[in-house]
Amino acid sequence: SVDANLLVAGPEAVRRYVQEIEAKGKDATPKEKDSLTEYELVEEAFLRGIRFNRVDLYRSEATRYLIDGENTLLCPFNALPGLGDSAAQAIVEARAQGPFHSKEDLKNRARLNKAVMELLEGHGCLEGLPEGNQLVFGF
């Protein structure tokens, strides 16, 4: 499948990745070879002026790209390498219960492991979320 980090990095990053796989020739893994067709479609999208926005904690779907303004697609959660469909669906279901108060809240409600949390953090999905749940008192 396609890596959201590459999509967001733009056409040059995708082209470099495709060239790296092609340079491996027979040494490319089956997964890399399978991804070439998908990345060729991505390159075609770039040529047509389509861009990709990074995964968004509150707007991305689990497995589908969404139209996000003119000529832009919003990446789904499962476009993050290592984040499977079940974790992606769990995030969407937890999100439907209301906003996340912290990274800890997200992790607990969606039952995510540390590796998935690190993927989300590394992609910038958790910006603005505090680490732990804080008690808020209104006086």
- For the beta carbon of residue 1, count every other beta carbon within 10 angstroms: 14
Identify the pLDDT of residue 131.
87
Q: What is the pLDDT along the chain (139 residues), one digit of tens a residue?
A: 799 999 999 999 999 999 999 999 999 999 898 999 999 999 999 999 999 999 999 999 999 999 999 999 999 999 999 999 999 999 999 999 999 999 999 999 999 999 999 999 999 999 989 988 665 555 5
User: End-to-end distance of the chain based on CA atoms, in angstroms?
Assistant: 50
Identify the pLDDT of residue 134.
64
Tokens of 44: 């075609």
1.10.150.20, 3.40.50.150, 1.10.150.870, 1.10.3720.10: which CATH number matches 4-123?
Answer: 1.10.150.870
Which sequence spans correspond to the domains of the chain?
A: 4-123
The residues near 108 (Cβ < 8 Å, ≥ 6 apart) are none
Block residue for tokens 């707007």:
59
